[in-house]
Amino acid sequence: MTEHYDDHIMGKAYDGQMMRRLLGYLRPYGRHVALAIVLIILISALKIIGPYLTKIAIDRYIAAADLAGLGKLGLIYLAILVALFGLEYLQTFLLNSIGQRVMYDLRMQIFSHTQKLDVAYFDRTPVGRMMTRITSDVDALNELFTSGVVTIFGDIVNLSGIILALFLMNYRLAGLVFSVLPLIILVTLIFKIKVRENYRQVRKLIARMNSFLQESITGMMVIQIFGREPRKFQHFESINKDHLDANLQAILYYALFYPGIELLSAVSIGLVIWYGGGQVVLGAMTLGALVAFLQYSERFFQPISDLTEKYNILQTAMASAERIFTLLDTPSAIATPAEPISPAQAKGAIEFHRVWFAYKDENWVLRDISFAVKEGERLAIVGATGSGKTTLINLLTRFYDVPRGEILVDGINIKQMDLYDLRRRFSVVLQDVFLFSGTVESNIRLYDENITLEQVREAASLVHLDRFIDRLPKGYEEEVRERGSSFSVGEKQLLSFARALAFDPRILILDEATSSVDTETEILIQDAIQQLMKGRTSIVIAHRLSTIQDADRIIVLHKGTIRETGTHQELLAQRGIYHRLYQLQYKEQYGRRPHVTNVPSVE
Ligand SMILES: Nc1ncnc2c1ncn2[C@@H]1O[C@H](COP(=O)(O)OP(=O)(O)OP(=O)(O)O)[C@@H](O)[C@H]1O
Ligand SMILES: [Mg+2]
C-alpha cells in the first residue's frame, strides 16, 4: 500500500520557531486577538467571583436571616451571569471568526504556492497528500487558534485565581485538595502517552483508507470488468478492521481516563468535606467558606483535564504546521529568472541545441538532441512508444529543465525567459485531453476574458466541433461532467483542438492521441489539424503517418536520439526506420482498419 502517505503525524508538541511563524498569521487581526485575550481574562476573573458570593450569601445573609441583603446579592449574581453571557458570546464569535479568516488566508497561500510548483513535484507527490494539506491540516491549525493558544490565557488566570482563593480561605484545606494532584498528573501522563500512540495509529489508518478509496473509486470500471470486487472488498475490510480496532483501543483509554480523574477529584472533595466539615463543627471555619471551597475545588479539576486535550491539539497542530510549512517552503524548481529576457519579436522559432534529459539520475531519455524549427515551419516527430516524444514537448514548455544543452525560442534560452511569457506562445494539445468541470464553452475558453464567445464559436467551427455541439441539448452551455466522462474520445480531441485554436498561439504543439476513432471522425480530426497548423509554427507528434505527409520536415526519434530527418519522400527513399513504419501502416490500412494506433518498435 501507499506507505508514503503515512508521513509522521506527531512531532514535537512545541516548537518555538514554528509557533512564532504560526502566530504571524494572527498579525493582520492583531486588534481582534488582543480584544479576545482581554475578554477571556475578564471572563475567567468574573467566574472566580461566583463561589465567593455564595460564601457571603451563606455567612452574612442566610446565617443572619437578612432577606433584603440576600436579594441584593442575588441581583449582583444575576448581573454577573448576564455579563458573562454577553462576554462569552463576544469572545466565542471573535475567536472563531479570527480562526476562519486565518484558515482562509492559509488556504489561499497554499493553493497559490501549489500553482507555482513544478511538474516534477507533482510526479513524486500523491494527490491525496496535497489535498490533506489544504483541508485537514489547515483545520488542525484552526483548532489551535480557536481553542488552543488564546484560551490558555484564560486557563492560567482561572487556575491561579482558584489556587489563590483556596489558599487565602484556608491553606490547610487547600493543601488537602492539592494532595491528589500528583496522582492526577501521573494518570494524565500515562493517558497522554497511550492516546498519543493510538492517535498516530488512527491517523495512519485514515490516510490509508483515503488513498485506498481514492484509487478504488477512480478505477472502479477496471475493478468491475475484471471482477476484482471480492479481492478489493477483502482489502478494504482489513483496513477498516484495523481502523475499528484502533478506535476501540482509544475508547478504552478514554473510558478509563475521565472516570479515573473524576474518582480522584471526588476523593479530594470527600477529603474537603470530611476535614472541612470537622473545622466547621469546631468553629474554625464558616459554613459559607466550606461551600465556596467545595465549589472552587470542583472547578479546579476541570481545566486540568482540559489541559490534556489542549496538549493534544497543540501537538496535532504543530505536526500539521510542520507539513504545511514544508510545502510552503518547497521552492519551485522552475521559475521565472530575476531578470527575464524577452525576445524582440514573438515569431515562433525553436531550436534544440545538444539537449540531454533524464527524469531520474543518469537514465537518459533524450540524448544529444539538436534540431531547429523556423518560423511558420511544420515539424513532425515520429518514433516508438517511450522514445521520448512527449518528453521533448515537456522540455520545450519548461515543465522540466534540461541539465545539459539548451533550448531556444526566438533566439533566447527559455530558462532566461519569463515563464508566463514563454508558455503563452504555445498551445499544446496533450495526448490525454483534460476537461474541467464547467460548460463546453468554459472548457474551450478556460475562463480567459480575452477570448470572446464569437472566437470560441469560430474555433469550434474550424475544427468541426460545432456539429457535435449543435447536437447537445444546451449547446455551448452543456455541463461537462467529472473528467468529461459524457464525451467520447474523438469529441474530447476536437474540443481540445478548439481550445488550442481559441488561444491563437504562435506555436502549436500537438501530441496526437494514440487511441482510435472511427473513419469519419478521423477525417474530421485530420482536417482540424490542418486548420490548427495554418499560419503558425507547429510541432506535431504523429502516430498516424497520414497526419504528417506534407510536413516540412520529419524527425524520427529512436530510443532518445534522432535517427532520421527529412521530408516524407526523402525518408521513404532512405529505406530506414520511417520506410519500415510506413509500410507497416500501409499494410494495416488495407488489411483491417484505416489507421494505426502506434508506431511499432524498430530494432
Ligand atoms: N514523469 C516521468 N518520470 C519518469 N520517467 C518518465 C516520466 N515520463 C516519461 N518517462 C519515461 O521516459 C521515457 C519517454 O517517455 P515519453 O512519454 O516521452 O514517450 P513517448 O515517446 O511520448 O511515448 P508514447 O508514444 O507512448 O506517447 C519512457 O521510458 C517513460 O517511461
Ligand atoms: Mg507520448
CATH number for 87: 1.20.1560.10
Report how far residue 139's alpha carbon sits from residue 100's, in angstroms, rounded to the nearest whole number: 9
Q: How far is the CA of 487 from the centre of ligand 2 (A)?
A: 22
pLDDT of residue 602: 43
Nearest CA to ligand 1 atom 17: 390
Rounded Cα gap, residues 114 and 109, in angstroms: 9
Q: Whose CA is nearest to atom 5 of ligand 1?
A: 359
Does residue 550 lie within any of the structural domains?
yes
- Nearest residue (by CA) to ligand 1, atom 25, is 385
Ligand 1 atom nearest 386 alpha carbon: 19
Average pLDDT per run of 10 along the chain, which is 603 residues long? Answer: 43 77 92 91 89 91 90 94 95 91 93 92 81 85 80 82 88 87 86 82 82 85 90 94 93 89 88 91 90 88 76 82 91 88 84 94 92 93 91 94 94 93 89 87 89 90 88 88 79 89 90 73 81 88 81 92 93 91 73 46 42
Strand-pair category, 438-439 with 479-480: antiparallel
Question: How far is the centre of ligand 2, averaged over its atoms, from the C-alpha of 532 (Å)?
Answer: 20
Determine, yes or no, domain membership for 114: yes
Q: What is the pLDDT of residue 6?
A: 42
Following DSSP, what letter does each residue of 483-499 receive, concatenated? GGTTS-HHHHHHHHHHH
Q: Which residues line ligand 1 (CB under 6 A)?
A: 123, 359, 365, 383, 385-391, 431
Residue 103 counted as domain residue:
yes
Separation of 534 CA from ligand 2 center, angstroms? Answer: 23
Do 512 and 542 touch, CB atoms closer than 8 A? yes
Question: Angle between the 30-56 and 287-329 helix axes, to the nearest 10 degrees?
Answer: 160
Measured from the alpha carbon of residue 400, the closest ligand is: 1
Residue where a domain stops, chosen among 145, 169, 193? 169
- Nearest residue by C-alpha to atom 13 in ligand 1: 386
Cα–Cα distance for residue pair 428/536, rounded to 1 Å: 13
pLDDT digits (tens, 9 = 90+) for 150-184: 777 788 888 888 888 888 888 888 888 888 888 88
> Is 306 part of a structural domain of the chain?
no
Instruction: Judge whether 155 lies within some domain.
Output: yes
Task: Give the model's pLDDT for residue 154.
Answer: 82
Q: Is residue 212 domain-resident?
A: no
pLDDT at 13: 64
Strand partners, 369: 355
- Pocket of ligand 1, candidates 355, 365, 541, 543: which has the most ligand atoms within 8 Å of its Cβ, to mutate? 365
CA 221 to ligand 2 center in whole angstroms: 24
pTM: 0.78
Residues 341-369 as b or e (16 or more Cβ within 10 Å = b): eebeebbbbbbbeebbbbeeeeebbbbeb
> Angle formed by the axes of helices 287-329 and 171-178, to 10°?
50
DSSP 339: S
Which numbered ligand comes closest to the C-alpha of 387? 1
Give the CATH number for residue 586.
Answer: 3.40.50.300
| Ligand 1 center to 222 CA (angstroms) | 23
104 in a structural domain: yes
For position 593, what pLDDT does the model report?
Answer: 46
Give bridge partners of residue 399 from the DSSP assignment. Answer: none
Of 274, 320, 353, 386, the residue nearest 141 (C-alpha): 320
Last residue of a domain, one of 117, 152, 169: 169
Q: What is the per-residue pLDDT for 597?
A: 44
The boundaries of the domain holding residue 87 are 14-169
**Which residue's CA is the closest to the ligand 1 atom numbered 16?**
388
> Which atom of ligand 1 lies closest to the CA of 391?
18
Which long-range contacts (C-beta less than 8 Å, at least 24 apart) are formed by 302-309?
303/155, 303/158, 303/159, 304/159, 304/184, 304/188, 304/261, 305/188, 305/258, 305/261, 306/155, 307/155, 307/188, 308/188, 308/191, 308/192, 308/257
CA distances from 408 to 402, 412, 503, 600 (A): 12, 5, 22, 31
Contact 573, 580 (CB under 8 A): no
Whose grid coordinates read 496535532?
316
Number of structural domains, the chain? 2
Beta carbons of 516 and 597 less than 8 angstroms apart: yes
Cell (9 digits) for 176: 488537602
Asked if 405 and 428 count as a contact pair (C-beta separation under 8 A), the reply is no
Q: In this predicted model, what pLDDT tens digit does every residue of 467-493 receive, in sequence order?
A: 888 888 888 888 888 777 778 888 888
Residue 248, in any domain of the structure: no
Please state, in angstroms and rounded to a whole number, the distance separating the CA atoms of residues 547 and 540. Answer: 9
The last residue of a domain, from among 169, 198, 224:
169
Q: Return all residues near 12 (Cβ < 8 A) that are at least 6 apart.
A: 318
Query: CA-CA distance, 589 to 83, in Å (whole number)?
Result: 87
Q: Ligand 1, closest atom to CA 392? A: 18
